[in-house]
């Protein structure tokens, strides 16, 4: 069973190791760009999340104040 899996994987994903290692440069540049963009996306999600959290806290405080005023 294990050997069938290995044969299946090796036949689907052709392995290519170039002798000229400069062929790896575009792949590394592309990988670096993807990592940078992913980091920026996470940064912006955190920034937006903090803004939404502040708005939610403000709304919660306002609702608590209104509830307190109605019961008094």
Please tell me the predicted confidence (pLDDT) of residue 55. 97
Number of residues that make up the chain: 72
∠8-27-23 over CA atoms, to 5°?
Answer: 95
Q: Helix or strand or coil: residue 20? A: coil
DSSP-assigned letter for residue 24? G
Tell me if 18 sits within 8 A of 24, measured CB to CB.
yes
The predicted model scores a pTM of 0.62
Percent of the chain with pLDDT over 90: 67
pLDDT single digits (tens) 29-62? 999 999 999 999 999 999 999 999 999 999 999 9
Collect all residues with Cβ–Cβ distance below 8 Å to 24 and sequence separation of at least 6: 18
Mean pLDDT lowest among 5-9, 50-54, 62-66: 5-9
């Amino acid at each position: 069973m294990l050997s069938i899996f290995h044969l299946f994987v090796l036949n689907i994903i052709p392995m290519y190791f170039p002798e000229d290692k400069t062929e790896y440069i575009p792949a590394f540049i592309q990988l670096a760009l993807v990592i940078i963009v992913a980091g920026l996306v996470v940064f912006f999600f955190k920034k937006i999340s903090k803004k939404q959290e502040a708005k939610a806290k403000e709304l919660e405080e306002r609702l608590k104040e209104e509830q307190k005023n109605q019961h008094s």
